[in-house]
Amino acid sequence: MLDVLLADGPLEAVWQSRQRVAWHGGELSVVSREGLISLKLEAGRPQDLADVQRLSEVHRG
Protein backbone atom coordinates (compact mmCIF):
# COMPACT_ATOMS: atom_id res chain seq x y z
CA MET A 1 0.00 0.00 0.00
CA LEU A 2 1.12 3.52 -0.69
CA ASP A 3 -0.61 6.58 0.67
CA VAL A 4 0.44 10.18 0.21
CA LEU A 5 -0.77 12.71 2.77
CA LEU A 6 -0.48 16.18 4.17
CA ALA A 7 -0.34 15.83 7.96
CA ASP A 8 -1.60 18.47 10.34
CA GLY A 9 -3.68 18.61 13.49
CA PRO A 10 -4.16 15.26 15.24
CA LEU A 11 -2.41 13.36 12.44
CA GLU A 12 0.81 15.28 12.96
CA ALA A 13 1.88 12.79 15.68
CA VAL A 14 1.67 9.97 13.14
CA TRP A 15 3.91 11.93 10.78
CA GLN A 16 6.37 12.89 13.52
CA SER A 17 6.86 9.20 14.42
CA ARG A 18 7.57 8.13 10.83
CA GLN A 19 10.65 6.12 9.88
CA ARG A 20 12.94 7.10 7.03
CA VAL A 21 13.92 4.26 4.69
CA ALA A 22 16.47 4.20 1.88
CA TRP A 23 14.74 3.40 -1.40
CA HIS A 24 16.11 3.42 -4.96
CA GLY A 25 18.88 5.86 -4.14
CA GLY A 26 16.59 8.19 -2.22
CA GLU A 27 14.72 8.33 1.03
CA LEU A 28 11.11 7.39 1.75
CA SER A 29 9.06 8.23 4.86
CA VAL A 30 7.03 5.32 6.23
CA VAL A 31 4.49 5.43 9.06
CA SER A 32 4.01 2.56 11.51
CA ARG A 33 1.23 0.02 11.09
CA GLU A 34 -0.62 1.70 13.95
CA GLY A 35 -0.09 5.08 12.32
CA LEU A 36 -1.39 3.79 9.00
CA ILE A 37 -4.49 2.45 10.74
CA SER A 38 -5.06 5.85 12.37
CA LEU A 39 -4.74 7.61 9.01
CA LYS A 40 -7.12 5.20 7.31
CA LEU A 41 -9.69 5.45 10.11
CA GLU A 42 -9.51 9.24 9.84
CA ALA A 43 -10.17 9.05 6.08
CA GLY A 44 -13.05 6.63 6.64
CA ARG A 45 -13.57 5.71 2.98
CA PRO A 46 -14.78 2.16 2.23
CA GLN A 47 -11.39 1.06 0.87
CA ASP A 48 -9.58 2.59 3.85
CA LEU A 49 -11.85 0.70 6.25
CA ALA A 50 -11.27 -2.53 4.29
CA ASP A 51 -7.52 -1.87 4.55
CA VAL A 52 -7.85 -1.43 8.33
CA GLN A 53 -9.64 -4.79 8.54
CA ARG A 54 -6.89 -6.47 6.52
CA LEU A 55 -4.10 -4.83 8.52
CA SER A 56 -5.75 -6.07 11.72
CA GLU A 57 -6.10 -9.61 10.35
CA VAL A 58 -2.45 -9.73 9.24
CA HIS A 59 -1.31 -8.51 12.67
CA ARG A 60 -3.29 -11.26 14.45
CA GLY A 61 -1.63 -13.83 12.23
pLDDT reported for residue 54: 95
pLDDT reported for residue 47: 97
The distance of Cα 36 from the centroid of its chain, to the nearest Å, equals 2
Closest residue by Cα to residue 38 from 61, 20, 3, 28? 3
pLDDT reported for residue 9: 76
Rounded distance between C-alpha atoms, residue 41 and residue 34, angstroms: 11
54 within some domain: yes
29 within some domain: yes
- Residue span of the structural domain in which 49 resides: 9-60
3 within some domain: no
Q: What is the pTM of this model?
A: 0.73
27 within some domain: yes
31 within some domain: yes
- DSSP code per residue over 41-61: HHH--HHHHHHHHHHHHHHH-
23 within some domain: yes
Rounded distance between C-alpha atoms, residue 46 and residue 26, angstroms: 32
**What domain count does the chain have?**
1
Q: How do the pLDDT tens digits run along the chain, 61 residues long?
A: 666 666 677 788 888 899 999 999 999 989 999 999 998 998 899 999 999 999 999 877 6
